[in-house]
Amino acid sequence: MKGAGYVPLFMDALRFNVWPLEIDTPPPTEDMAWDKNEHMIRICIDRHNGFTNMAFLDWSVRNVGLKELWTLRWHKTYNTAGPWTTAGGVMPTDWPEWMRKFKDY
């Protein structure tokens, strides 16, 4: 499959079943992973200094930046240039303060 290295398969998360949307907002604080019904918030957890670990559909494994989560191919119709990406127009100041120090994607 083309782009399989960008399709998440397994990851650090609070649940085994996640269906993130490109419009899901980041958690307002580091410890708010259950604050909303949005699924990206269940994955956007600072477990490794601004990164999380992921395995992808091509069986590769790597660190993924927390802001990078919004650029991955979560499903066939997922917009990888959604509002929480640099391509989608997000500004560094749009991120919650605890995430602003992390790399932009």
Range of the domain at 101: 1-105
Question: Phi/psi of residue 61, each to 5°?
Answer: -135, 135
**Two structure tokens written together for 97:** 């303060």
Alpha carbons 90 and 71: distance in angstroms, whole number: 12
Counted domains in the chain: 1
pTM of the model: 0.93
pLDDT in tens, 8-52: 999 988 877 889 999 999 999 988 776 678 899 999 999 999 999
Predicted pLDDT of residue 35: 65
Predicted pLDDT of residue 20: 94
Q: Is the pLDDT of residue 98 over 90?
A: yes
Q: How many CB atoms lie within 10 A of CB 88?
A: 15
Three-state SS at 51:
strand
* Cβ 72 vs Cβ 55: under 8 Å: no
Three-state SS at 65:
strand
